[in-house]
C-alpha cells in the first residue's frame, strides 16, 4: 500500500517561493524626439533560473529513487488519439502506477489531466507528478496566425501576446508545457515546416524566439497561466537537403553558429526551460546523438540548465540513421549526447537501466538527466500543487474570450502583407453593389485555422467569405468554388467565371490547404497547386476587376500570377479572425503593414533563395553571361525579404550613424527618418541592414541588424534610433572564434532587403587586429 503522504512532502518545508523566471526586457532602442522603439531581439541579462530550494529538494528526492524510477522520469508517452476518452488514462495507468512515466502529451482537458495526475500522485510509490505537454503552436482554442504569418507582422510584441493567451487557455485545460516556439531558420520553401517558424533570418527569428518564449512562460512558471516553452528543433532542421523533411543536413560549423543557432541562443537567454532535438543529422551526426550541440554548445557554452527532450521517436530513429545496432547502442548515444527525455520511443525505459548496470552508461549521467526533469517539475510548482488549480469550470470560461478574439483580429491584420497593388486597385470600395468571392479556400473556415491548430474549431472561425459578408451588409456577395488546391478538377471554373461576370469586383482566394505546409509536407514544386492557375487565368480573361487573396504557409512561386493580376494580398493562415482581418484590409478599414519574413522566388528552381547570400566571385547580373545566374529566369526574387506595400507611401532616409568611426567598446546610434508621404496613416517597418565590406571569411551582402514597426500619420516624420555594437559586426572566423574585424561596414535602410539608402562607417581596433567578442546573452 503506497503511503498517503508523499515522502518528498517534508522536503518542501522551508523551500521559498520559486524565483520569478528571467523575463528579459527587449533591448529597446533609445529614443530621440519623435522616436519609436526598435524591436531588436534581446538576449537580456542571463539569469540562472534555478528556484530557491530546488537543488536540495531534487537531490533528496533523487536519493529516494530506484534506478527504474529514475528511468521512468525520462520516459514520455503520447496519449491516445481521443485524448478525453478513457483509453488515454487506462493505457498508461499501470505504467504510471509503477512510476514509469515522467511526462504525457496529447492528453487534454482539466478532468482528464486531473484524473491522470491523481493516479500519479496517489498511486505511484514516490507520488511524483506528471508534466503534461502539448504542441500549442499558434493558439490553443483561440487560434492566431501561423508562426510564419505572425512573423510577417515584424512585431514581436504581437508574438508575445498571442503566446501568452495560448498559454492561458492551454494551462486551463491541464497543459503545463508546450513544444513551441519552433525557432528553426528556414531558407528552402519546399520544406513544409517553414510555416512553423519565423522565416529565413536569424535576427528577426531571434526577436520572435524571445517574445514567444516569454509569452508562453510568463513571468512566473508557477502561475496557473504559464507553460514551459520549448525551443525546437535543435538544430538546423530547416536546412534539410532539397527541402525534404527529415533529410540530412551538411553545413559548416560556421553556418550553424552564425545562421541556425542564434534564435536558440536567444531563447535560452530569455529563460526557455526546454529544447527539443531535431530529426536531422548534422555533418554525419544525428542531432539526437550530437554531443557537440546538446552538451558542448548548449550547456557548456550557453549555460543552459534546463531539460532536453527528444522529438517523436527520435532516439529510436537513431537505429535507422545507422549509428547503433540495437536499442542499447542508441539509448547510450542519446543519453551520452545530453538528451534527457525520450519522447515515445521508450528506448530509455527499455535499455537505460541495463546500460547503467553493465557500466556502459555512468549512473551520474542518468542522475543528471533525472535531476533536470525533477527541476522542471519543481519550477512549475508541481510538488506544491500537482493540479495547478485546474477545473472543468475554469477550463470552460478560459476559452475564446472577446478580449482574445480582439487580439486574434489585431494579430491577423498585422500579419497581412500587401504584395502588389498596381493602380491602387485596393482598397475596394464598400459601396460596390455586387462582389464575387471565388475559390474553395474562400469559404473554408477550417483552413483559416492552419496546421498545428491546437483545439481550434472551425465553428469559432470566420472565413474570407463570411468576413466580406459582414463587412458589406448591404452588398450582394456571391460565391463560387471554382477550383481547389487539392484537386485538378476544372469543372467548376465555368461557373466561377459566370459568377464573377455578375459582380463589380471579384476576390479570388487561392493558395494551399493547411496540410500542404506542415510536417511531412515537403513539396517539389511550390506553384499554386491543383487547377487554381487555370482559374486565375479564366478570371483574368473576364476583365472583371479582380484582386487575389493568398492563403498559404510557405512562399509560393507566383511569377505568372504576379504577371497577370494587379493586386495580391498575402494572408497566410490567420486563425479564427482570418475573414474579418482580410475584409478589414480589402475594404480599407485597416492599412496593411506586414512585411515578408522570407523571400518569395519566381520559380521553384531558385530555392533556396534568401537575402543574406554571399556575393560570389562573379556577382549575379542578369545581363552578363559568366555571372552567378540562370539562363531561363532572373536570379532576383519575385518579392524580396522585408517587402510589403501600404495604402500610403513612405520615404526612408539614409542611415545616420552617430560617428564615422566605431571602436570595440562603442555603441553606434544609427538614426533613420521615416516620413509618411501619402495621404493616410499607416505602419512603416523600418529595416536596418549591415554589410561587412571586407572579411577574412566571405560575408553576406546584407544582414538585418535592427527593425521597427511604427505607425506614422500622413505627412508625419518619425526618427528611429538603432544601437549597433561590436556584437552586431561579429561572425565566426576560420578558427571558429567570434570576432569583429576592423575595416569599413555599410549600413542600409530601406523598404526591403534589396533596396534603399546606404552609408559607410569604419570599425577600428587599437592594434588593427580583430577583436574576439563574447557570444553571450546581450
Which residue, 307 or 493, has its beta carbon nearer to ligand BGC?
Answer: 307
Helix (H, G, I), strand (E, B) or coil at 552: coil
End-to-end CA distance of the chain: 53
Max CA-CA distance within the chain? 83
Q: Does 519 bind ligand BGC (CB under 6 A)?
A: yes
Dump the DSSP string for 577-636. Answer: THHHHHHHHHTTSS------SSPBPSSGGG-S--SS-B--SS---TT-TTSS--SSS-SS
Site residues for ligand BGC, 550-589, by CB under 6 A, read none
Phi, psi (5° rounding) for residue 309?
-110, 150
**Other beta carbons less than 10 A from residue 737's beta carbon:** 14
Q: Does 264 bind ligand BGC (CB under 6 A)?
A: no
Catalytic residues: 311
Q: Does 683 bind ligand BGC (CB under 6 A)?
A: no
> Would you say 724 and 705 are in contact if contact means Cβ atoms under 8 Å apart?
yes
x/- mask, ligand BGC, residues 348-377, rule CB under 6 A, reads ------------------------------
Nearest-approach distance from CB 109 to ligand BGC, in angstroms: 17
Which residue, 232 or 718, has its beta carbon nearer to ligand BGC?
Answer: 232
Nearest-approach distance from CB 379 to ligand BGC, in angstroms: 20
Torsion of CA 218, 220, 221, 225, to 10 degrees: -60
Which residue, 192 or 467, has its beta carbon nearer to ligand BGC?
Answer: 192
Secondary structure element (H or E) that encloses residue 703, with its range: strand 703-712
Angle at 382 between CA 380 and CA 383, to 5 degrees: 125
Nearest-approach distance from CB 193 to ligand BGC, in angstroms: 8
Computed on alpha carbons and rounded to an integer, the radius of gyration of the chain in Å comes to 26
Site residues for ligand BGC, 454-483, by CB under 6 A, read none
Exactly one of 141, 187, 222, 232 binds ligand BGC (CB under 6 A); that residue is: 232
Site residues for ligand BGC, 234-253, by CB under 6 A, read none
Which residue, 232 or 481, has its beta carbon nearer to ligand BGC?
Answer: 232
Q: Does 184 bind ligand BGC (CB under 6 A)?
A: no
> Would you say 212 and 535 are in contact if contact means Cβ atoms under 8 Å apart?
no
What CA–CA distance (Å, rounded) separates 352 from 337? 14
What CA–CA distance (Å, rounded) separates 610 from 558? 16
Which residue, 113 or 591, has its beta carbon nearer to ligand BGC?
Answer: 113
Q: Does 188 bind ligand BGC (CB under 6 A)?
A: no
> Would you say 287 and 278 are in contact if contact means Cβ atoms under 8 Å apart?
yes
Which residue, 278 or 591, has its beta carbon nearer to ligand BGC?
Answer: 278
Which residue, 141 or 405, has its beta carbon nearer to ligand BGC?
Answer: 141
Nearest-approach distance from CB 312 to ligand BGC, in angstroms: 4
What CA–CA distance (Å, rounded) separates 554 from 200? 11
Nearest-approach distance from CB 252 to ligand BGC, in angstroms: 25
Site residues for ligand BGC, 14-73, by CB under 6 A, read none
What CA–CA distance (Å, rounded) separates 211 from 245? 27
Which residue, 232 or 709, has its beta carbon nearer to ligand BGC?
Answer: 232
What CA–CA distance (Å, rounded) separates 306 from 268? 9
Nearest-approach distance from CB 248 to ligand BGC, in angstroms: 16
Nearest-approach distance from CB 315 to ligand BGC, in angstroms: 13
What CA–CA distance (Å, rounded) separates 54 from 656? 49
Residues in the chain: 778
> Would you say 170 and 83 are in contact if contact means Cβ atoms under 8 Å apart?
no
Which residue, 140 or 590, has its beta carbon nearer to ligand BGC?
Answer: 140
Nearest-approach distance from CB 583 to ligand BGC, in angstroms: 33
Site residues for ligand BGC, 521-550, by CB under 6 A, read none
Q: Does 512 bind ligand BGC (CB under 6 A)?
A: no
Nearest-approach distance from CB 232 to ligand BGC, in angstroms: 6
Residue nearest to ligand BGC (CB): 179
Taking phi over 0 as left and psi of -120 to 50 as alpha, with beta for the rest, 117 belongs to alpha
- How far apart, in Å, are the Cα atoms of 177 and each of 73, 131, 778? 15, 7, 26
Nearest-approach distance from CB 511 to ligand BGC, in angstroms: 23
Q: Does 135 bind ligand BGC (CB under 6 A)?
A: yes
Nearest-approach distance from CB 319 to ligand BGC, in angstroms: 17
Size of the site for ligand BGC (CB under 6 A): 6
Secondary structure element (H or E) that encloses residue 148, with its range: helix 147-151
Exactly one of 144, 177, 179, 707 binds ligand BGC (CB under 6 A); that residue is: 179
Which residue, 179 or 761, has its beta carbon nearer to ligand BGC?
Answer: 179
Which residue, 69 or 519, has its beta carbon nearer to ligand BGC?
Answer: 519
**Other beta carbons less than 10 A from residue 320's beta carbon:** 11
Angle at 368 between CA 364 and CA 374, to 5 degrees: 135
Q: Which residues does residue 476 pair with via DSSP β-bridges, in sequence order?
A: 434
Q: Does 346 bind ligand BGC (CB under 6 A)?
A: no
Q: Does 8 bind ligand BGC (CB under 6 A)?
A: no
Nearest-approach distance from CB 657 to ligand BGC, in angstroms: 41
Q: Does 311 bind ligand BGC (CB under 6 A)?
A: yes
| Residue in this structure with the C-alpha cell 538527466, named with its chain if needed | 369
Q: Does 635 bind ligand BGC (CB under 6 A)?
A: no
Q: Is the dihedral of CA 441, 444, 446, 448 positive or negative?
A: positive
- How far apart, in Å, are the Cα atoms of 153 and each of 261, 385, 710? 23, 38, 11
Instruction: Give the per-residue SS3 of 5-72.
Output: CCCCHHHHCCCCCCCCCCCCCCECCCCCCCCCCCCECCCCCCCCCCCCCHHHHHHHHHHHCCHHHHHH
Exactly one of 15, 114, 312, 627 binds ligand BGC (CB under 6 A); that residue is: 312
Which residue, 381 or 553, has its beta carbon nearer to ligand BGC?
Answer: 553
Each as own residue / partner, the long-range contacts of residues 288-292 (CB below 8 Å, 24 or more positions apart, any chain) are: 288/314, 288/315, 288/317, 288/318, 288/333, 288/334, 288/337, 288/339, 289/318, 289/321, 289/323, 289/330, 289/333, 289/334, 289/336, 289/337, 290/337, 291/336, 291/337, 291/338
Q: Which positions touch ligand BGC (CB under 6 A)? A: 135, 179, 232, 311-312, 519
Amino acid at each position: 500500500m503506497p503511503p498517503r503522504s508523499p515522502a518528498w512532502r517534508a522536503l518542501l518545508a522551508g523551500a521559498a517561493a520559486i524565483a520569478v523566471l528571467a523575463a528579459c526586457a527587449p533591448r529597446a532602442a533609445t529614443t530621440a524626439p519623435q522616436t519609436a522603439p526598435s524591436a531588436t531581439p534581446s538576449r537580456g541579462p542571463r539569469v540562472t533560473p534555478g528556484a530557491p530550494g530546488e537543488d536540495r529538494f531534487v537531490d533528496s528526492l533523487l536519493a529516494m529513487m530506484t534506478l527504474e524510477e529514475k528511468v521512468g522520469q525520462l520516459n514520455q508517452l503520447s496519449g491516445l488519439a481521443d485524448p478525453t476518452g478513457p483509453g488515454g488514462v487506462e493505457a498508461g495507468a499501470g505504467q504510471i502506477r509503477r512510476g514509469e512515466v515522467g511526462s504525457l502529451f496529447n492528453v487534454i482537458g482539466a478532468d482528464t489531466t486531473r484524473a491522470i495526475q491523481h493516479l500519479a500522485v496517489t498511486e505511484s510509490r514516490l507520488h511524483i507528478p506528471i508534466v503534461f505537454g502539448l504542441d500549442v503552436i499558434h493558439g490553443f482554442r483561440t487560434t492566431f496566425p501561423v508562426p510564419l504569418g505572425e512573423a510577417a507582422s515584424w512585431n514581436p510584441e504581437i508574438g508575445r501576446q498571442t503566446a501568452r493567451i495560448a498559454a492561458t487557455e492551454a494551462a486551463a485545460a491541464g497543459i503545463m508545457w508546450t513544444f513551441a516556439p519552433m525557432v528553426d531558420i528556414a531558407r528552402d520553401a519546399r520544406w513544409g515546416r517553414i510555416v512553423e517558424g519565423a522565416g529565413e533570418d536569424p535576427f528577426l527569428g531571434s526577436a520572435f524566439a524571445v517574445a514567444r518564449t516569454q509569452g508562453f512562460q510568463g513571468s512566473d512558471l508557477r502561475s496557473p497561466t504559464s507553460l514551459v516553452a520549448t525551443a525546437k528543433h535543435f538544430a538546423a532542421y530547416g536546412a534539410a537537403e532539397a527541402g525534404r523533411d527529415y533529410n540530412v543536413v551538411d553545413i559548416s560549423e560556421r553556418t550553424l553558429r552564425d545562421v541556425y543557432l542564434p534564435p536558440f541562443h536567444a531563447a535560452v537567454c530569455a529563460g526557455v526551460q526546454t529544447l527539443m532535438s531535431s530529426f536531422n543529422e548534422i555533418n554525419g551526426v544525428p542531432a539526437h546523438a550530437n554531443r557537440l550541440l546538446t552538451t558542448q554548445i548548449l550547456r557548456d557554452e550557453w549555460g543552459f540548465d534546463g531539460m532536453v527532450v527528444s522529438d517523436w521517436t527520435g532516439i529510436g530513429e537513431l537505429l535507422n540513421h545507422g549509428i547503433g545496432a540495437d536499442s542499447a547502442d542508441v539509448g547510450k548515444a542519446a543519453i551520452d549526447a545530453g538528451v534527457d527525455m525520450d519522447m515515445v520511443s521508450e528506448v530509455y525505459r527499455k535499455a537505460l537501466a541495463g546500460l547503467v548496470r553493465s557500466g556502459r552508461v555512468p549512473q551520474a549521467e542518468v542522475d543528471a538527466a533525472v535531476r533536470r526533469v525533477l527541476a522542471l517539475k519543481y519550477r512549475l510548482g508541481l510538488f506544491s500543487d500537482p493540479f495547478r488549480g485546474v477545473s472543468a469550470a475554469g477550463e470552460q470560461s478560459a476559452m475564446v474570450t472577446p478580449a482574445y478574439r480582439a487580439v486574434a483580429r489585431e494579430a491577423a491584420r498585422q500579419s497581412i502583407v500587401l504584395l502588389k497593388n498596381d493602380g491602387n486597385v485596393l482598397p475596394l470600395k464598400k459601396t460596390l453593389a455586387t462582389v464575387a468571392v471565388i475559390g474553395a479556400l474562400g469559404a473554408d473556415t477550417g483552413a483559416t485555422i492552419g496546421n498545428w491548430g491546437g483545439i481550434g474549431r472551425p465553428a469559432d472561425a470566420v472565413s474570407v467569405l463570411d468576413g466580406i459578408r459582414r463587412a458589406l451588409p448591404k452588398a450582394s456577395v456571391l460565391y463560387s468554388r471554382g477550383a481547389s488546391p487539392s484537386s485538378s478538377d476544372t469543372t467548376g471554373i465555368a461557373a466561377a467565371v459566370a459568377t464573377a461576370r455578375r459582380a463589380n469586383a471579384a476576390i479570388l482566394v487561392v493558395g494551399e490547404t493547411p496540410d500542404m505546409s506542415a510536417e511531412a509536407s515537403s513539396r517539389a514544386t511550390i506553384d499554386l497547386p491543383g487547377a487554381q492557375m487555370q482559374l486565375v487565368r479564366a478570371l483574368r480573361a473576364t476583365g472583371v476587376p479582380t484582386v487575389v487573396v493568398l492563403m498559404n504557409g510557405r512562399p509560393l512561386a507566383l511569377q505568372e500570377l504576379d504577371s497577370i493580376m494587379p493586386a495580391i494580398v498575402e494572408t497566410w493562415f490567420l486563425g479564427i479572425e482570418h475573414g474579418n482581418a482580410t475584409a478589414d484590409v480589402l475594404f480599407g478599414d485597416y492599412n496593411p503593414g506586414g512585411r515578408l519574413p522570407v523571400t518569395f522566388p519566381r520559380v521553384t528552381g531558385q530555392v533556396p533563395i534568401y537575402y543574406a547570400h554571399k556575393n560570389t566571385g562573379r556577382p549575379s547580373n542578369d545581363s552578363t553571361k559568366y555571372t552567378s545566374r540562370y539562363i531561363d529566369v532572373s536570379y532576383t526574387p519575385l518579392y524580396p525579404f522585408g517587402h510589403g506595400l501600404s495604402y500610403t507611401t513612405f520615404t526612408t532616409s539614409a542611415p545616420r550613424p552617430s560617428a564615422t568611426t566605431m571602436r570595440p567598446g562603442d555603441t553606434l546610434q544609427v538614426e533613420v527618418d521615416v516620413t509618411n508621404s501619402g495621404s493616410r496613416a499607416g505602419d512603416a517597418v523600418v529595416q536596418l541592414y549591415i554589410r561587412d565590406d571586407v572579411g577574412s571569411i566571405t560575408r553576406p551582402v546584407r544582414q538585418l541588424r535592427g527593425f521597427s514597426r511604427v505607425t506614422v500619420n500622413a505627412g508625419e516624420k518619425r526618427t528611429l534610433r538603432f544601437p549597433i555594437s561590436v556584437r552586431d559586426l561579429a561572425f565566426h572566423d576560420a578558427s571558429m572564434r567570434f570576432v569583429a574585424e576592423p575595416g569599413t561596414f555599410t549600413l542600409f535602410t530601406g523598404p526591403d532587403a534589396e533596396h534603399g539608402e546606404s552609408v559607410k562607417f569604419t570599425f577600428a581596433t587599437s592594434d588593427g587586429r580583430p577583436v574576439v567578442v563574447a557570444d553571450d546573452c546581450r
